Structure 1
Amino acid sequence: MTLKALLLAATLLSAAAVPAAAQNTAAPAAAAPARNEAGARLRQLFHESDEANLRRNPISALFRGDFRYADRLGDYMSDAYYAAEREAAEQELAALHRIDRNRLNATDRLAYDVFEYQRREDLADVQPQMLALTAVRPLNHFSGFHTFYPVLASGRSAAPFRNVQDYNNNVSRHRQYAVLIDRAIGRFRQGLASGVVETKLTIRNVIDQLDTQLRDAPEASPFFGPAQNFPEGVPEADRARLRAELLAVIRDQVFPAYRRLRAFLNDEYLPRARDGVGLSSMQGGAQLYARLIEKNTTLPMSADEVHNLGLSEVARIRGEMDAIRRQTNFSGTLAQFFEFIRTDRRFEPQSREWMRERYYEIGRRVDARIREYFSTIPRSRLEIREVEAFRERTEAGGSYQDGTPDGSRPGIFYYNAYDLPSRRTSGMETLYLHEGSPGHHFQIMLAAENEALPAFMRFGGNTAFVEGWALYAETLWDELGMETDPYQRFGGLNDEMLRAMRLVVDSGIHARNWTRDQAIQYMLDNSGMSRTEVVAEVERYIAIPGQALAYKVGQLTILRLRAEAERALGRRFDLRDFHAQVLMTGSLPMPVLERKIRDWIAERQRG
Structure 2
Amino acid sequence: MRHSVSILALTLVAACASSTETRDIASPETAQKVQTSAAPAEEVQTPTAMEAATGASAVLKDTTKEARAKQAQTTEQAAIEETEKLYAFFSEQFDARIARSPMFQTSLGLKTNYNQWDDPSDEADIAHFKLDQAAASLMEELVDYDALTPDGQLSYRLFKNNALQQKSLFPFRHHNYVFDQMNGVQSSIPAFLINQHRIKSVSDADAYIERLNGIPEYLGGHLKNAQMSAEKGIRPPKFVYKYVRSDIANVLKGAPFSEGEDSPLFNDFKEKVNALDISSDEKLTLIMKANAALITSVQPAYEQLSAWLESDLENATDDDGSWKLPDGASFYQQRLAAMTTTDLSAAEIHTLGLKEVDRIHSEMRNIMQKVEFKGNFKEFFEFMRTDPQFYYSSDEEGRQRYIKEATQLIDTMKTKLPSAFNTFPKADLIVKRVEPFREKSAGKAFYQRPAADGSRPGTYYANLYNMNDMPTYQMEALAYHEGIPGHHMQLAISQELENVPRFRKYGRYTAYTEGWGLYTEYLPKEMGFYQDPYSDFGRLAMELWRAARLVVDTGIHDKKWTREQATQYLMTNTPNPEGDCIKAIDRYIVMPGQATAYKIGMLKILEVREKARAAMGANFSLAEFHDILLASGPIPLSELELSIDQWISESTSQS
User: Is 1:194 equivalent to 2:236 in the alignment?
Assistant: no
Residues in 1 aligned to 2:328 and 2:198: alpha-carbon distance in whole angstroms: 40
Give the conservation status (yes or no) of the 8 Å contact 1:465–1:589.
Answer: yes
Match of 1:396 in 2: 443
1:170 pairs with 200, 208, 215, which one?
A: 208
User: Is 1:432 equivalent to 2:479 in the alignment?
Assistant: yes
Question: Where in structure 2 are the equivalents of 1:525-540 lying within 5 Å?
Answer: 525-540=572-587
Residues in 1 aligned to 2:360 and 2:468: alpha-carbon distance in whole angstroms: 26
Give the conservation status (yes or no) of the 8 Å contact 1:218–1:250.
Answer: yes
1:204 pairs with 242, 247, 254, which one?
A: 242
Match of 2:419 in 1: 372
Match of 1:151 in 2: 191
Match of 2:519 in 1: 472
**Cα shift at 1:216:** 2.2
User: Is 1:138 equivalent to 2:182 in the alignment?
Assistant: no
Residues in 2 aligned to 1:191 and 1:354: alpha-carbon distance in whole angstroms: 44
Residues in 1 aligned to 2:625 and 2:256: alpha-carbon distance in whole angstroms: 51
Give the conservation status (yes or no) of the 8 Å contact 1:366–1:480.
Answer: no
Residues in 1 aligned to 2:178 and 2:288: alpha-carbon distance in whole angstroms: 31
Match of 1:160 in 2: 198
Q: Given residue 477 of structure 1, which amino acid in structure 2 is its aligned partner? A: P
Question: Where in structure 2 are the equivalents of 1:273-422 lying within 5 Å?
Answer: 273-350=316-393, 351-422=398-469
Q: Given residue 537 of structure 2, which amino acid in structure 1 is its aligned partner? A: F
**Cα shift at 1:285:** 1.7
SS of equivalent residue, structure 1 residue 378:
coil
**Cα shift at 1:259:** 0.7
**Cα shift at 1:67:** 2.0
SS of equivalent residue, structure 1 residue 218:
coil
Structural RMSD (CA): 1.7
Match of 2:122 in 1: 79
Match of 1:14 in 2: none
**Cα shift at 1:387:** 1.1
CA pair 169-488 structure 1, distance change in 2 beyond 3 A? same
Give the conservation status (yes or no) of the 8 Å contact 1:430–1:495.
Answer: yes
SS of equivalent residue, structure 2 residue 526:
coil
Give the conservation status (yes or no) of the 8 Å contact 2:247–2:438.
Answer: yes
Match of 1:454 in 2: 501
Residues in 1 aligned to 2:285 and 2:605: alpha-carbon distance in whole angstroms: 54
Q: Deviations over 1:32-75 (max 9, x none)?
A: 67414421221121111101111122212211112223222110
Residues in 2 aligned to 1:206 and 1:426: alpha-carbon distance in whole angstroms: 31
User: Is 1:55 equivalent to 2:99 in the alignment?
Assistant: yes
Q: Given residue 116 of structure 2, which amino acid in structure 1 is its aligned partner? A: R
Match of 1:95 in 2: 138
Match of 2:568 in 1: 521
Question: Where in structure 2 are the equivalents of 1:484-495 lying within 5 Å?
Answer: 484-495=531-542
Q: Deviations over 1:333-379 (max 9, x none)?
A: 11110000000011112411221221122122211201211101111
**Cα shift at 1:537:** 0.6
2:89 pairs with 36, 42, 45, which one?
A: 45
Give the conservation status (yes or no) of the 8 Å contact 1:290–1:302.
Answer: yes
User: Is 1:120 equivalent to 2:164 in the alignment?
Assistant: yes
**Cα shift at 1:564:** 0.6
Which shifted more, 237-246 or 494-503?
237-246
Give the conservation status (yes or no) of the 8 Å contact 2:216–2:297.
Answer: yes
SS of equivalent residue, structure 1 residue 412:
strand
Which shifted more, 385-394 or 506-515?
385-394
State the number of aligned residues.
571
TM-score, length of structure 2 as denominator length: 0.85
Give the conservation status (yes or no) of the 8 Å contact 1:151–1:222.
Answer: no
Give the conservation status (yes or no) of the 8 Å contact 1:469–1:555.
Answer: yes
Match of 1:270 in 2: 313
Match of 2:70 in 1: none
Residues in 1 aligned to 2:653 and 2:374: alpha-carbon distance in whole angstroms: 54
Match of 2:301 in 1: 257
Give the conservation status (yes or no) of the 8 Å contact 1:464–1:554.
Answer: yes
Give the conservation status (yes or no) of the 8 Å contact 1:426–1:490.
Answer: yes
Q: Given residue 334 of structure 1, which amino acid in structure 2 is its aligned partner? A: F
SS of equivalent residue, structure 1 residue 215:
coil
TM-score, length of structure 1 as denominator length: 0.91
The structure with the largest alpha-carbon Rg is 2
**Cα shift at 1:553:** 0.9
Seq. identity, %: 31
Q: Given residue 506 of structure 2, which amino acid in structure 1 is its aligned partner? A: F
**Cα shift at 1:255:** 1.3
Task: Please identify which structure carries the higher helix content.
Answer: 2
**Cα shift at 1:31:** 11
SS of equivalent residue, structure 1 residue 246:
helix
Q: Given residue 243 of structure 1, which amino acid in structure 2 is its aligned partner? A: I
Residues in 2 aligned to 1:232 and 1:488: alpha-carbon distance in whole angstroms: 44
Match of 1:184 in 2: 222
Residues in 2 aligned to 1:457 and 1:233: alpha-carbon distance in whole angstroms: 39
Give the conservation status (yes or no) of the 8 Å contact 1:45–1:92.
Answer: no
CA pair 235-284 structure 1, distance change in 2 beyond 3 A? farther
User: Is 1:238 equivalent to 2:282 in the alignment?
Assistant: yes
Give the conservation status (yes or no) of the 8 Å contact 1:204–1:270.
Answer: no
SS of equivalent residue, structure 2 residue 431:
strand
Q: Given residue 292 of structure 1, which amino acid in structure 2 is its aligned partner? A: R
User: Is 1:547 equivalent to 2:587 in the alignment?
Assistant: no
Give the conservation status (yes or no) of the 8 Å contact 2:199–2:272.
Answer: no
**Cα shift at 1:237:** 4.7
Consecutive unaligned residues in structure 1, runs of 5 or more: 1-28
Match of 1:105 in 2: 149
CA pair 557-271 structure 1, distance change in 2 beyond 3 A? same
Residues in 2 aligned to 1:32 and 1:451: alpha-carbon distance in whole angstroms: 26
Residues in 1 aligned to 2:339 and 2:318: alpha-carbon distance in whole angstroms: 26
Give the conservation status (yes or no) of the 8 Å contact 2:214–2:297.
Answer: no
Give the conservation status (yes or no) of the 8 Å contact 1:30–1:37.
Answer: no
Give the conservation status (yes or no) of the 8 Å contact 1:398–1:435.
Answer: yes
Residues in 2 aligned to 1:451 and 1:238: alpha-carbon distance in whole angstroms: 42
**Cα shift at 1:125:** 2.9
Residues in 2 aligned to 1:55 and 1:118: alpha-carbon distance in whole angstroms: 19
SS of equivalent residue, structure 1 residue 228:
helix
Give the conservation status (yes or no) of the 8 Å contact 1:314–1:500.
Answer: yes
Give the conservation status (yes or no) of the 8 Å contact 2:557–2:592.
Answer: yes
Residues in 2 aligned to 1:529 and 1:420: alpha-carbon distance in whole angstroms: 12
**Cα shift at 1:572:** 0.4
Give the conservation status (yes or no) of the 8 Å contact 1:562–1:578.
Answer: yes
Give the conservation status (yes or no) of the 8 Å contact 2:181–2:442.
Answer: no
SS of equivalent residue, structure 2 residue 175:
helix
Which shifted more, 341-350 or 202-211?
202-211
Q: 1 or 2 for the larger relative contact order (CA 8 Å, sep ≥6)?
A: 1
Match of 1:25 in 2: none
